[in-house]
Amino acid sequence: MANSSALNPRKEFLPFSLPTIGQEEIDEVVESLRSGWLTTGPKVIKFQEKFKSYIGCRNAVALNSGTAGLHVALLSMDLRPGDEVITTPLTFTATANTILHAGGRVVFADIDMDTLNVDIDAVKAAITPSTKAVIPVHFAGLPCDMDAFIAYCRRKGILIIEDAAHAVGSEYKGIKIGSIGDITVFSFHPTKGMTTGEGGMITFSDDGLKDRFELLGFHGIERSVGAVRSVPSVADYDIKMPGFKYNMLDIQAAIGLHQIDRLNAFIKKRTLLAELYRERLERIEELILPKLPAYDLVHSWHIFTPLLKIEDLNIDRHSFISELRGHGIGAAYHYKALHLHSFYRTLGFRPGQFPKAEYVSDRILSLPLFPNMTERDIDDVSLAVENIIAKNRKKGF
Ligand SMILES: Cc1ncc(COP(=O)(O)O)c(C=O)c1O
């Protein structure tokens, strides 16, 4: 591995993430553009069907983002003032913002230090008579221990909405995420396991929710004719509720139709790259590498997230990311714990409340990980990481 001498930066910048778009996706989008059918239409219907059979779930409704999926899932609960929804502080802000948009109160529960997922015991401790739902986030693509969540929440009559934005293709005990719990939400943002440009999918077991999600996702317009959500020019229509404009376009579904075919290959490659990182980085004492729980799972490796032991270094995480940039390497971090952000502090949250999430929040790093990366790219990143650590190691450590 590297020594601490100066390392030449990469000639070509390595981004932290890049979508893998093939000729099939390009041809399908072009076909949509030429056909004149750009908005929600037959390709969205086909994509929903394909996604359903990939996941093995009963229902799937495509929307224009994962955020939209969380929003309609939460709205369908008809939360009343004071109703509480528990989630992790180590997540993207959409998870908690949508609780507020749906009229709920955000309650955070601290994380498990091994999986970085919300800790079921912390969730149990946060439950009150006002708790209506829990949103476990499958962080980085590592599935939460769903048996524990389901056993507890069913007994308490609490709904589980899985935030699977990171976890398309992940499996828990041989079953795909998206077919286990009541409602699951996926994101197809370009950094995610598969993409539609922007986009999302909500999967669910209760057939009765389908109309609700479709109404909420498209202006509350009841579709009286056909299976296609589009301008209701073909028949009489009725507004059932003030819904949102959250529909996925055929142009987006055109990409998704081929991404879903490649998803298993993407995950295979991401897994291989994560193993290479592990081999290259495991001897660096100032890093804590991602851990795997004992239960059977398929990790989809949306991100590879070592923790930097900043107490042993003369550099903080933000400067570390800047140094990596200097080496021609893009890195990111997921996430600054939500309760530390200024808006969430106005809700009464404060530092010290969720010490594990805060520990991770100060130290976590997302190294480049995407299917088209090569072993050489992993070597470049690993050498740069080792080099920066060697330069900034605290003396006498
Ligand atoms: C954990 C989590 N939840 C929700 C979302 C929202 O998804 P989208 O960007 O598709 O709205 C994201 C996306 O970044 C996410 O990472």
187 shares a domain with 216: yes
CB 200: neighbour CB atoms within 10 A? 29
Residue with structure tokens 């709904």?
A: 159
The kind and range of the H/E element at 101 are helix 93-101
Q: Is the pLDDT of residue 342 over 70?
A: yes
CA distance 397 to 395: 5
CA of 92 to the centre of ligand 1 (A): 6
CA of 323 to the centre of ligand 1 (A): 27
User: Per the domain annotation, does 116 fall within a domain?
Assistant: yes
Q: Is 302 in the pocket of ligand 1 (CB under 6 A)?
A: no
Q: What are the C-alpha distances in Å from 30 to residues 23, 33, 36?
A: 10, 5, 10
386 shares a domain with 346: yes
Which tokens is 242 given? 């003030």
112 shares a domain with 53: yes
Note the pLDDT tens digit of each residue in 304-321.
Answer: 999 999 999 999 999 999
At residue 7 the predicted structure's pLDDT band, cuts being 50, 70 and 90, is: confident
CA of 236 to the centre of ligand 1 (A): 36
49 shares a domain with 157: yes
Domain count, the chain: 2
Q: Is 66 in the pocket of ligand 1 (CB under 6 A)?
A: yes
User: Per the domain annotation, does 1 fall within a domain?
Assistant: no
Residue with structure tokens 């389901």?
A: 150
Among 162, 189, 255, 259, the mutation site with the greatest number of ligand 1 atoms within 8 A of its Cβ is 189
Q: Counting every residue, how long is the chain? A: 397
Note the pLDDT tens digit of each residue in 8-55.
Answer: 889 899 999 999 999 999 999 999 999 999 999 999 999 999 999 999
Does residue 359 have a cis peptide bond before it, meaning omega lies within 30 degrees of 0? no
User: Per the domain annotation, does 140 fall within a domain?
Assistant: yes
- Mean per-residue pLDDT, 116-142: 98
281 shares a domain with 254: no
Give the structural domain span for 358: 263-392
CA distance 232 to 251: 20
User: Per the domain annotation, does 5 fall within a domain?
Assistant: no
Q: Which residues are catalytic?
A: 192
For residue 395, what pLDDT is reported? 67
CA of 1 to the centre of ligand 1 (A): 36
Q: Which of 193, 223, 258 is the last residue of a domain?
A: 258
319 shares a domain with 193: no
93 shares a domain with 59: yes
Q: Which of 208, 240, 258 is the last residue of a domain?
A: 258
Q: Is 200 in the pocket of ligand 1 (CB under 6 A)?
A: yes
At residue 222 the predicted structure's pLDDT band, cuts being 50, 70 and 90, is: confident
Among 65, 67, 74, the mutation site with the greatest number of ligand 1 atoms within 8 A of its Cβ is 67
Maximum C-alpha span of the chain: 78
For residue 280, what pLDDT is reported? 98
More confident residue, 119 or 395: 119
88 shares a domain with 103: yes
- Mean per-residue pLDDT, 144-151: 98
Share above pLDDT 90 across residues of the chain, in percent, rounded to a whole number: 92
CA of 392 to the centre of ligand 1 (A): 34
Q: Which of 258, 293, 322 is the last residue of a domain?
A: 258
Q: Is 165 in the pocket of ligand 1 (CB under 6 A)?
A: yes
Q: Which residue from 142, 144, 137 is spatially nearest to 66, judged by alpha carbons? A: 137
CA distance 321 to 305: 13
Share above pLDDT 70 across residues of the chain, in percent, rounded to a whole number: 94
131 shares a domain with 208: yes
φ/ψ region of 332 (left if φ > 0, alpha if ψ in -120 to 50, else beta) reads beta
Atom of ligand 1 nearest to the CA of 189: 10
At residue 232 the predicted structure's pLDDT band, cuts being 50, 70 and 90, is: very low
User: Per the domain annotation, does 18 fall within a domain?
Assistant: no
32 shares a domain with 139: yes
> pTM for this structure?
0.96
Q: Is 362 in the pocket of ligand 1 (CB under 6 A)?
A: no
319 shares a domain with 246: no
101 shares a domain with 243: yes
Q: Burial level of 228, CB count in 10 A (0-12/13-18/19+)?
A: middle
Atom of ligand 1 nearest to the CA of 69: 11
Assign residue 299 the CATH number of its domain. 3.90.1150.10
User: Per the domain annotation, does 16 fall within a domain?
Assistant: no
Assign residue 45 the CATH number of its domain. 3.40.640.10
User: Per the domain annotation, does 13 fall within a domain?
Assistant: no
CB 39 within 8 A of CB 247: yes
